[in-house]
Amino acid sequence: MNTPTTDAASVLLEEYPLPGVVLLRLNRPEVLNALNLALRRALADAFVRLDADPAVQVVVLAGDARAFCAGADLGEYVDATPAELMARRHDLLWGAVAGCSKPVIAAVRGHALGGGCELALHADLIVAGRSARLGQPEVKVGIMPGGGATQRLTRAIGKHAALKLLLLGEPIGADTAADLGLVAEVVDDAETESRALALAAQLLALPAWALRSIKASVLMAMETPLSAGLAHERALFQTLFATHDQHEGMRARLDKRAPRFTGS
């Protein structure tokens, strides 16, 4: 796995704290990591490249101590026309993040609002620091979410809880988010990234194709009727019996030893 290079104009930093794990850091601290078009494109490019890199198994997405991401950069929106918004093809940029087949963990501290909350919702696990504030305040500036919150948030926490957040535009804290099932864990701020990386390390020790198949099946459950989801699950389950890790995992359990997974 090659460490990518960055330059002074880069809005996205990439670090490799563990072999097989990539830490992507949003790097616009002067505006609380607000999403401008350049950052959105850099983020999409990074996810496409990392998803295709066989050396990468888990992606951890983080901001900084003040903010995960404060949402869209309103300076790019205040005078935008519908035609200009359509030309930006945000659907393709969000799709690159959503399309990542590998586990994605969001480490959230501080603000995760609007597009920042939607970005966190694209992750498979959210580890929240106690300072985390998550919400969809778009209604307060005369619009609605456009990055998937009306769909993903509703599926994550249910209609009534989602509508309270979406209609009132008020953020919630980390503990409330955990009670709603929006975040997986709440930890002290100083431990947020280390805990996300520890979870990534746990995932590294597990069979990669099984992890990806589980993720694919769960995401399918969000989009299809039960019968179609069950058929998809069965197909993936059967396909895993063609992998080395299936045989190794079951043989190791029968032999009462630790498995040696290879990701194949």
Catalytic residue among 14, 76, 138, 248: 138
CA distances for 162 relative to 110, 130, 154, 167, 240, angstroms: 20, 21, 5, 8, 36
- Residues constituting the chain: 264
Determine the Cα–Cα distance for residues 33 and 11; give it in Å rounded to an integer: 9
Nearest to 129 by CA among 208, 210, 203, 188: 188
Concerning whether 138 is annotated as a catalytic residue, the answer is yes
Concerning whether 118 is annotated as a catalytic residue, the answer is yes
DSSP 8-state assignment for residue 3: P
Catalytic residue among 15, 30, 84, 118: 118
Order across the sheet with 133-135: list the strands. Answer: 67-69, 111-113, 133-135, 172-173
DSSP string, 70-120: --B-GGGTTT--HHHHHHTTHHHHHHHHHT--S-EEEEE-BEEETHHHHHH
- Residues that are catalytic: 118, 138
